[in-house]
Amino acid sequence: MESPRLNTFVTWQRSVQLAAEILKLAQTAQGGAQRCLEAIAEEAIQRAASLGDSYLNMETGFELWSLNDGRALALYTRLKAAEISGLLPEREARRLLGLFEEVERMMENYLRAQAKAEAAQGPQARSAWKPTAQDEFKRLSESKAPRPRREA
């Protein structure tokens, strides 16, 4: 079984790949199509950034999957609008929508696996992250010993 961190990282990679593919198309487009594709690419980049933020914050229990739902809807809407308007050739639109749907399936699989894992643990509530004495900020001049490393 894949670890949640690995699954999240791979999902983030696929989101970045989707944004890169859209950016490549924007570079070769002309006029209004270029501006439209650049806007779509920006939305894809924002979504990938949200996924990356979620990946980095998994240790604290703070995840941004719900933010990604809104980003996903905005990205899908822009891709479909570009396809219907003819700014994206049908073949390219289908390929990009396929990448988009792959990322969505990966996220759904992660959420299903997470729900199963939580159900298997029983009724224990997930405690919120609280800083410990080690995590509190100290000025460098006040610190006499090297800071302990976090174990992954």
- Tell whether the model's pLDDT for residue 147 goes beyond 60: no
Predicted local confidence at residue 123, as pLDDT: 62
The reported pLDDT for the residue numbered 62 is: 47
Q: How far is CA 126 from CA 9, 60, 118, 142, in A?
A: 22, 11, 9, 34
| Residue from 7, 5, 1, 12 nearest 152 by CA | 5
Percent pLDDT > 70 in the chain is: 62
- Model pLDDT, residue 150: 58
Q: What is the pLDDT of residues 43-101, one digit of tens each?
A: 888 887 777 777 666 654 545 455 556 667 677 767 776 777 677 888 988 898 888 88
CATH for 4-120 (2.60.120, 1.20.1440, 1.20.58, 3.30.1490)? 1.20.1440
Q: What is the pLDDT of residue 73?
A: 65
Residue with tokens 């224990």: 124
State the pLDDT at residue 133. 55
Mean pLDDT of 36-43: 86
